[in-house]
Chains A and B, each alone.
Chain A
């Protein structure tokens, strides 16, 4: 018998029943809830007179709509009445259904994908879902985690299960060591550049190889976070000692006797040596340079030392048209060196890059330097209240403020600009978030995805630059 992949192991442990039609009823251990994709699910439960199957499996926090300034007034501080109603609705629903919620004024509030791991609410071997595509983040813990739509949120609330068809499996192996200055973000952008935004469609991707193993848990979360940008619902990484050390002692992590029992079980959460993947992609870590996207899809990415690509060199008609449209939206000319592109705003934050390690990496670049005069706004938005607190303990806030960055309250912020933080039409942004889609950070806004260090460097220089040249 051949061995199993990590995905198959977790899948098998969660099958409640085989529906006999190509789907299974899959048990869900954890559901994270936020204000945007849950109101219609709660409403559905209410209309059908249904209760939550397991209240304790749910954990909620508002993140998408919350302001990053002016937290002192709580919900009253949300100026937009429509957004305020959504946050109020979450509070109301959580208290009605008995769900634990880290409200806006709670130090534990933050972006769902940051607080799950931070609280130990994301554990190895779990199935984790959330009405948000970046739920893939939690796969960094050797969990099977993916985003779901609102109908499925309601389904999990009512039954603790999902109807799922098994995914195909893909191993993305990043072999060897990365060079200095290369971060998890550069790795994952390079992977997406290689396999394309639809390359992972229908797959659960397991990331492996030396370059992945040497990443911190924060870095692994960054990589798994963007699995969805490669089209894969789930990204995952095998459990090792780093995973276990990260989880130990966190509020929701198992304690005492169950801890040892859990660790023993988690040690098996890796693909067997003879496991077979449907697809294997090998990437040479040493060839990865700092990455910058140039277009309106995360696969439109190049190294900082190269130029904006020329559509004339693209043979595929549909792709060429897409490139021309992207260049026109982005206001870029083919063959412009990437390091000559000036930016207007800088955003350091989002569930991709707002953890303490990201804050430190950006602060290291900002330290003793000043934000360039052409930068209208450079925002640093920590992923949770606890990260903010930790960063302040380390004095990072002062470094940022002295350099001319703004230091904000936790939330999604300019990642999708549902609150007041946004780009104006045609403004160009160096952003550590995960999507450079048209209008994502504000209508007409132009987003370039980069690592936190690269974003900080762009703020200092006023244009993109290789961090290693600073």
Chain B
């Protein structure tokens, strides 16, 4: 996993609540046995006018010009602001893979769905929860300022606007630590192999039917 320390980037708005993982990456792309290459199909059904299928050449497909990410002012955005319950629905990790592959490294919303939340952090995406009224302001800022950027500093836990005002955010200590250092969970857990073995010994005496 890549380390995440800070990021200054263009912000794109996704102005609807309950954006689900089916919308983030439609199911036909889940047939892939790879972890990469999902970016061109991020929000596929909203982004293109035709029906997307795996293996298609996406460069020639008709774009839905209305869709926010197709507007020229949001090209190169790496920060996404969103509404309540972003990432609800399925457990598909293809959703954060697609967001990351597209270029998003930070998503800011009032709330996120649980599984999506942990999947994103495991892939090095920083998810930030802020009060709905602060998010409202961000949506307004983005709407009136073309090329609107934010500067996100994970170490300091701050988001700085172009005018220098800052918003601070909360993050679980363990998530912050892992993100800052780009740590891999399996590697961390492997340091506790003895604990796992001790647990198994005790538990298999207590509940032998779980270890047949």
Give the interface of A toward B (CB within 8 A): 13, 16-17, 19, 21-23, 25, 27, 29, 36-37, 39-40, 43, 48, 50, 53, 56, 64-65, 80, 82-83, 85-86, 89, 123, 125-126, 131-133, 135, 146-152, 154-155, 158-161, 163, 165, 197-198, 201-202, 231-233, 254, 258-259, 261-262, 265, 297, 318-319, 321-322, 325, 416-418, 435, 437-440, 443
Residues of chain B contacted by A325 (CB below 8 angstroms): 16
Q: Which residues of A contact B17 (CB under 8 A)?
A: 318-319, 322
* Contact flag A155-B209 (CB < 8 Å), given A197-B88, A198-B88, A443-B45: no
Given contacts A160-B196, A198-B84, contact A133 B91 (CB under 8 A): yes
Nearest chain-A residue to B88 (Cβ)?
A197
Contacts of B90 in A (CB 8 A): 132-133, 147, 435
Tell me which residues from 194 to 212 in chain B have a Cβ below 8 Å from any Cβ of chain A: 195-196, 199-200, 203, 207-210, 212
Residue of chain B at shortest CB distance from A154: B186
- A262:B207 contact, CB within 8 angstroms: yes
Query: Are B114's CB and A201's CB within 8 A?
Result: yes
Q: Which residue of A has the minimal Cβ distance to B210?
A: A29
Q: Can you list 5 A-B contacts with CB-CB less than 8 angstroms, sorted by A residue number? A: A16-B192, A22-B174, A27-B203, A201-B114, A319-B17
Contact A437 B93 (CB under 8 A): no
Shortest distance in angstroms between B143's beta carbon and chain A's nearest beta carbon?
14
Indicate if B113 sits at the interface (CB-CB under 8 A).
yes
Asked if residues A149 and B122 are in contact (CB atoms below 8 Å), the reply is yes
Residues of A within 8 A of B88 (CB): 197-198, 231
In the A-B complex, the 3 residue pairs with the smallest Cβ-Cβ separation, listed nearest first, are A254-B209, A149-B119, A149-B93
User: Which of A23, A56, A86, A149 has a CB less than 8 Å from the CB of B92?
Assistant: A149
B18 touches A (CB below 8 Å) = yes
Q: Smallest CB–CB gap between B87 and chain A, Å? A: 11
User: Separation in Å of the B44 CB from the closest CB of chain A?
Assistant: 9
Check B54–A197 contact: CB distance below 8 A.
Answer: no
Whether B27 and A155, one on each chain, are in contact in the complex, defined by CB atoms closer than 8 angstroms, is no
- CB atoms of B31 and A149 under 8 A apart: no
Asked whether B31 lies within 8 Å of A83 as measured between CB atoms, the reply is yes
Residues of B within 8 A of A50 (CB): 186
Assess whether A159 is in contact with B189, with CB atoms less than 8 Å apart.
yes
Q: In the assembly, what is the distance between CA of A161 and CA of B112, in Å?
A: 24
Query: What CA separation (Å) do A6 and B210 show in the bound complex?
Result: 18
Q: Given A161-B196, A201-B111, A265-B207, verify A439-B85 contact (CB < 8 Å).
A: no
Distance to closest chain B CB from A76 (angstroms)? 17
Q: Is B131 an interface residue (CB 8 A)?
A: no
Once the chains are docked, how many angstroms separate the CA of A131 from the CA of B90?
9
**CB neighbours of A131 from chain B (8 A):** 91, 93
Within the assembled complex, what's the spacing in Å between the Cα atoms of A319 and B16?
9
Convert B47-68 into 0s and 1s, putting 1 for each residue whose CB lies closer than 8 angstroms to a CB of A.
0000100110000000000000
In this complex, which of A40, A161, A198, A322 has the most chain B Cβ atoms within 10 angstroms of its Cβ? Answer: A198
A82/B185 contact (C-beta < 8 A), A21-B174, A21-B177, A151-B119 known: no
